[in-house]
Amino acid sequence: MTNSRIAAIDVGNDSLKGIFGKMDAEVNIPNVIARDVEDRPIIGIEELDTQDPLDGIHIRVHSPALKDNNAIYRVGNLATKSNNSTELDPGSSKSEEDQTLVMLFASIALDAARNGSDFKKNNNVIEANYTLGTGLPLREVKEGKDVGYRSRLLGSVHQVEFLVTPRYQGIKVNIKFEEVKVYPEGFAAFINLVMDNNSNIINKDLIDKRILIQDIGGLSTDIAVIKDRKVDDDKAQGFNLGVSESLELIREEIRSRHGIELDSRRDVVEIITKKNDRNHIMVKGSRTSVHDIVDRIMLELAKKQYRHLRNMWQKNSQTEICYFIGGGSSVLKEYIKTLNNNLDGYNIDFFEDEKESIWMMANAYYKLIADFTRKTQKQQAPKEEQKLAKTK
């Protein structure tokens, strides 16, 4: 595992968050892709390499794990500008979508190209070896889909070829996984709450409590029940209820009422969460409130999320606290707090640091995969010493 670089990746429904190496690199890419042609037209080809690669990810992906192999895609920011861009739909399974893998491979290839000195490079081909920590919703893990997902990644070479991408045009990255660990998202969130990057316990008050963790994503919501330091698989539940559908409703109503076309759900999230001029858009150069649209649709979603909380708490009456996490929680935080204050008054908590909440899964996967790597290297060290002793 000496030449293997760590990748901890959360393919969220809104965006992919990745942490690499010894936490020396991270990447955040909107989870949007669009099919494309090989020679995408651009203005000022000579200025291409002055641009940020994240704004121009244009790749061909070859992998036996994909249903649609050898296809060409725009990814992330570049894809949001396409008329044929796709985002994951409600009801879809993250583990079974090509889009999840395209995002995963693209982020790893970007890291390999940026840190090419870590790997062998022949001409323009980088041989990249990674140890991956990632996760799936509890619902999919309970259905056993993590096994198939892991097996599709292991044992094969997955190639990403950068086409018209700033700085990396013409580079091919062959990705091979030394090991893949797929964690249930609720358990990962608990680990992030109680463990630091060196596997030390940082929250002794929490570690033996009975906890609910309500993870609100774009397409689904997972509620993990933590008891005796582990997830209670029988009681944990997943629901096909996320914020994506509500964001689409807001986007559609803004279009029909104001004639404004927003590129993606990410644009709606920015309108809702920005620090200045929150819930305002520009219409023909005038600052215009969309507060009534946002409040009506988001409050309705918050009520549905609160019903799930109430039902889960009733089934787990000795729960001491519920933590709300995930990008959806950041969007719904004030609505859920208001409902809770006016209704049941459960002991709930949010992460005031928006980045901490959004990056929680990626951080958790990093802690888990780094701990796995340390333990593996410790086990391998005596074997290597024995081999050396025999050769002397």
Rounded to two decimals, the pTM is 0.85
Please list, in sequence order, all residues whose beta carbon lies within 8 angstroms of the beta carbon of residue 288, skipping any fewer than 6 positions away: 258, 280, 281, 282
Nearest to 138 by CA among 59, 222, 214, 82: 222
Q: Are 131 and 6 in contact (CB under 8 A)?
A: yes
Give the tokens for residue 170. 């013409």
Residue 218 CA to residue 364 CA, distance in Å, equals 19
Q: Are the C-beta atoms of 150 and 104 separated by less than 8 Å?
A: no
Strands 221-227 and 172-184: unpaired
3-state secondary structure of 182: strand
DSSP notation for 216-260:
E-SS-EEEEEEETTEE-TTT-EEES--SHHHHHHHHHHHHHHH--
- Which of 107, 125, 118, 128 is closest to 176 using CA atoms? 128
C-beta separation of 354 from 317 below 8 A: no
Q: Helices in the chain by DSSP H: which ranges?
A: 77-80, 98-114, 138-142, 145-153, 185-194, 204-207, 244-258, 265-273, 291-315, 327-342, 354-358, 360-391
Q: What is the pLDDT along the chain (392 residues), one digit of tens a residue?
A: 457 999 999 998 888 999 999 999 999 999 999 999 888 776 555 577 788 999 999 999 999 999 999 999 999 999 988 888 888 777 678 899 999 999 999 999 999 999 877 799 998 999 999 999 999 988 888 889 999 999 999 989 999 999 999 999 999 999 999 999 999 877 777 887 888 877 788 877 777 889 999 988 888 888 989 887 777 878 888 888 889 899 999 999 999 999 998 877 888 988 988 878 889 999 999 999 999 999 999 999 999 999 999 999 999 999 999 999 888 888 899 999 999 999 999 999 987 677 777 788 899 999 999 999 999 888 876 665 566 556 65
Phi-psi region of 21 (alpha: psi -120 to 50; beta: other; left: phi over 0): left
pLDDT at 390: 61
| CB within 8 Å of 346: residues ≥ 6 apart | 309, 310, 313, 322, 340
As to burial, measured by CB atoms within 10 angstroms (0-12 exposed, 13-18 middle, 19+ buried), residue 390 is: exposed
Report DSSP state, residue 89. P
**pLDDT of 40-84, one tens digit each?**
776 555 577 788 999 999 999 999 999 999 999 999 999 988 888
Residue 1: per-residue pLDDT: 46
DSSP H helices, 123-163, are 138-142, 145-153
pLDDT for 327 equals 81
What tokens does 316 get? 């787990």
Give the 3-state secondary structure of residue 325: strand
Whole-number Å distance between alpha carbons of 135 and 374? 20
Q: In the chain, what is the straight-line distance between the N-terminal and C-terminal CA atoms, in Å? A: 24
CA–CA distances in Å: residue 344 to residues 244, 312, 313: 27, 13, 11
Residue 355 neighbours by CB distance under 10 Å: 11
One-letter amino acid of 54:
L
Q: What one-character DSSP code corresponds to residue 343? A: T
Q: What distances in angstroms separate CA 243 from CA 72, 88, 156, 249, one per listed residue? A: 29, 12, 35, 10
